[in-house]
């Protein structure tokens, strides 16, 4: 038994945020039916399938041309029988097919309907397309990322997408819990922009309090010193001394107790005032260490530190990643090859989930015939739907 194994989800999403949401729910036992257009999810082929694979485990794929009457009927039947619908169309598109929340609710009154978009269902930006890096720009995140004397830069991982998917899954579970306790279905409106603004949290509060705009600071940390990226003998580390105790531990580890007596560095505020000077002091010390060696020594001493690792370091040689089974075997359906992908980022002491994925990501339309059979289509009707280009499957 799994927590969500009595729920059926119709997944009308593409890209990353929506698939993250439905994968989380599917791996907790929900039946997830991924409805794809004739060309497939528009992220299937990006990076050779590497953008599709990590976010589409635990799903069945049905490939349907919803613009045909027959295809529209198939999707409508799926939605009308579902417990949950998750969609990522631009506002107004699904109204044309009577698949918007109000239309679906008339036929399926307890539906939980999550609309996941770039900018939400209301407001002057609601009709705009929204992708993670564009939202990083619009939300103010990009303005504070990078170096002050260079143009703003994007974060090169889809953090806003993934965060939006996780928040959507959280909201859906809250709605399921409310419905199970005697409530009704509901519509959930969540967007990449909402999440990005929420994640600008302390910068927004600080600006409201002081009127000061945050500036790009490269590898320099916030609120204390030494705090930031430092070179070592063979690479770089990130060091964060966020308290007087941490600073004292750092100085004692390096045998630089003299710095504890230097009045220029006596308090956090003093060290911030002279952060360039103190950075020079520690840079000279760190150059005699390898990054991993220095990381271990400082972490053992109680000073938060991280050696700057590459993807190859994580995949090939990180002992903590290996010990916690943070990478698992998967399958890239676009490249038709076995691959490694990150596991779900939580562990249960019970048998809710063992960290491995329940099924591999589906090929485009892999379950089309099976799903149509479950909807009581006959074998001849299914053949006709394929022949008429209403439904599709890879290799069919």
Q: Which residues are catalytic?
A: 161
Identify the DSSP state of 49: G
Helices (H), the chain: 17-27, 69-80, 101-107, 132-138, 159-180, 192-199, 201-210, 244-253, 268-273, 275-286, 291-300, 311-317, 319-323, 368-374, 379-387
**Residues whose CB falls within 8 Å of the CB of residue 269, separated by 6 or more in sequence, listed in order:** none
Report the distance separating Cα 396 and Cα 376, nearest Å.
20
**Residues whose CB falls within 8 Å of the CB of residue 126, separated by 6 or more in sequence, listed in order:** 91, 117, 119, 120
Report the distance separating Cα 239 and Cα 241, nearest Å.
7
In sequence order, the β-bridge partners of residue 36 are 63
Q: Which residues of 255-277 are buried (b: 16+ CB within 10 A; e: fewer)?
A: eeeebeebeebeebeebeebbee
**Residues whose CB falls within 8 Å of the CB of residue 322, separated by 6 or more in sequence, listed in order:** none
């Amino acid at each position: 038994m799994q927590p969500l194994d009595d729920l059926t989800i119709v997944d009308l999403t593409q890209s990353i945020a929506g698939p993250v949401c439905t994968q989380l729910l599917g791996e907790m036992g929900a039946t997830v039916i991924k409805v794809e257009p004739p060309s497939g999810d528009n992220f299937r082929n990006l990076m050779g399938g590497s953008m599709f694979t990590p976010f589409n485990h635990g799903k069945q794929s049905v490939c349907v041309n919803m613009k045909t009457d027959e295809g529209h009927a198939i999707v409508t039947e799926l939605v009308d029988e579902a417990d949950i619908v998750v969609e990522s169309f631009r506002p107004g598109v699904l109204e044309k097919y009577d698949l918007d929340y109000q239309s679906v609710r008339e036929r399926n009154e307890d539906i939980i309907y999550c609309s996941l978009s770039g900018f939400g269902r209301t407001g002057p930006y609601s009709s705009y397309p929204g992708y993670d890096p564009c939202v990083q720009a619009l939300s103010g995140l990009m303005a504070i990322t990078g170096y002050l004397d260079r143009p703003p830069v994007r974060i090169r991982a889809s953090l806003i997408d993934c965060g939006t998917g996780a928040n959507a899954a959280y909201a859906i579970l809250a709605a399921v819990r409310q419905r199970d306790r005697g409530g009704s279905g509901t519509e959930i409106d969540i967007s990449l922009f909402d999440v990005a603004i929420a994640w600008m949290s302390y910068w927004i509060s600080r600006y409201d309090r002081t009127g000061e705009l945050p500036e790009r600071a490269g590898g320099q940390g916030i609120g204390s010193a030494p705090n930031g990226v430092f070179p070592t003998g063979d690479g770089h580390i990130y060091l964060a001394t966020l308290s007087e105790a941490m600073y004292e531990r750092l100085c004692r580890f390096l045998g630089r107790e003299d710095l504890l007596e230097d009045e220029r560095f006596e308090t956090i505020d003093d060290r911030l005032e002279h952060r360039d000077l103190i950075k020079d002091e520690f840079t000279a010390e760190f150059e005699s260490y390898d990054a991993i060696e220095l990381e271990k020594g400082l972490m053992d001493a109680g000073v938060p530190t991280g050696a700057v690792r590459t993807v190859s370091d994580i995949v090939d040689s990180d002992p903590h990643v290996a010990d916690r089974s943070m990478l698992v075997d998967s399958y890239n359906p676009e490249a038709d090859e076995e691959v490694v992908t990150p596991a779900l980022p939580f562990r249960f002491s019970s048998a809710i989930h063992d960290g491995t994925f329940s099924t591999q990501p589906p090929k485009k339309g892999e379950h089309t015939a099976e799903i149509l059979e479950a909807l009581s289509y006959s074998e001849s009707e299914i053949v006709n739907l394929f022949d008429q280009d209403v439904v599709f499957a890879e290799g069919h």
